[in-house]
Structure 1
């Protein structure tokens, strides 16, 4: 299996990845095809696919903010069971992120991720791919070290229609296992930058950000 970076929408693997995304994720979580051009050309956004026997069987997008010392896992797709795709991509991603952190001269504090709450999305099949089942994914991410931030989380829809998406938890995987909380100002800085590409923010998101600005820290809890 190969871990192949995609940097252009003209890459044949990108079409296969986008089709996989549409199969697995709901529409509000998938950026329209043509709008991927600039993100893929951004050196700070890292999009990789797992290629097995010429087929795209998995994909992951992530980024590293060296000034904040944190990473964000945008998505991880496991397109087929029984190939060890999840472990393969997680290990490759972490090695790459550690290298990015080393280049910045400062160690990584941890990684954010938005994780579906299966108790609020009953009936969503995620393309019928069992490894993508939200219960399975949540437990796997817990095993990797992700924890839930004490926050009523919403995010702007990637359809950029001003709607709020409310079926995910914002989570954080600290590199230091003894970490029990995250700076609220760090979360504000991260979310503000991460969603700067979406100009139409829902009121609920703005209220969440203003609430975070009134806090010092946000506790971490098990998934």
Structure 2
């Protein structure tokens, strides 16, 4: 299996990846094809695909914030069962992030991720691919060490229509497993940076950020 970076919408592998996203994710979670041009060309956004026999069978997007010393996993897609795609993507991503952190001069603090909570929202189908089942994914991410940040989370729809998307938790995978909380200043700075690309944010998102700013820290809880 190959770990291939995509940096252009003209790359034939990107067309396969975007179709895989449409097959797997709810429509409001998939950015339009043409809107991927700038993100793919952004050196800070790292989009990789797992290629098996010439076909894209998995993908992951993530980014590393040097000034925050944290990463964000935008998504991980497992398109087929029985190939070890999840492990492959996880290991390759971590190797890449550790190299970036080393070049930045200090160990990675950890990695954010938005994780669906199927115990609150039951209609997520995820293309019928069993490894992408929200119950399975949530438990796998728990095994990897992700923890839930203790506040009600909403995020702006990637349709940029001002709608608030719920049914997810903002989680964090600390490099130091004994870490029990994160400063809200870091969380707010991260969220503002991450969602700069979506100018049409819902009021619920602004309210959430305001509530975070009124606190000093958010606990990291099991998921």
TM-score, with length taken from structure 1 = 0.99
Cα distance between partner residues in 2 of 1:58 and 1:140: 16
| CA deviation profile, 1:140-174 (whole Å, cap 9, x unmatched) | 00011000000100000000000000110000000
- The corresponding residue for 1:218 is 218
Q: How many residues are treated as equivalent by the alignment?
A: 223
In structure 1, the gaps of 5 or more residues are none
Cα distance between partner residues in 1 of 2:59 and 2:12: 14
2:139 matches 1:142: no
Cα distance between partner residues in 2 of 1:18 and 1:111: 24
- The corresponding residue for 2:171 is 171
Match of 2:77, SS state, is strand
Cα distance between partner residues in 2 of 1:191 and 1:128: 30
- The corresponding residue for 1:119 is 119
Cα distance between partner residues in 2 of 1:214 and 1:48: 37
Give the 5 Å matches for 1:90-105: 90-105=90-105
2:160 matches 1:160: yes
Cα distance between partner residues in 1 of 2:187 and 2:33: 29
| CA deviation profile, 1:90-147 (whole Å, cap 9, x unmatched) | 0000000000101111221000000000112213210000000000000000011000
In structure 2, the gaps of 5 or more residues are none
| CA deviation profile, 1:184-206 (whole Å, cap 9, x unmatched) | 00000000000000000100000
* CA positional deviation for 1:49: 0.2
- The corresponding residue for 1:9 is 9
Moved over 2 A (4+): none
- The corresponding residue for 1:193 is 193
Match of 1:206, SS state, is helix
Match of 2:90, SS state, is helix
Cα distance between partner residues in 1 of 2:168 and 2:15: 26
Cα distance between partner residues in 2 of 1:144 and 1:19: 27
Cα distance between partner residues in 2 of 1:37 and 1:106: 31
* CA positional deviation for 1:47: 0.1
- The corresponding residue for 1:52 is 52
Match of 1:62, SS state, is strand
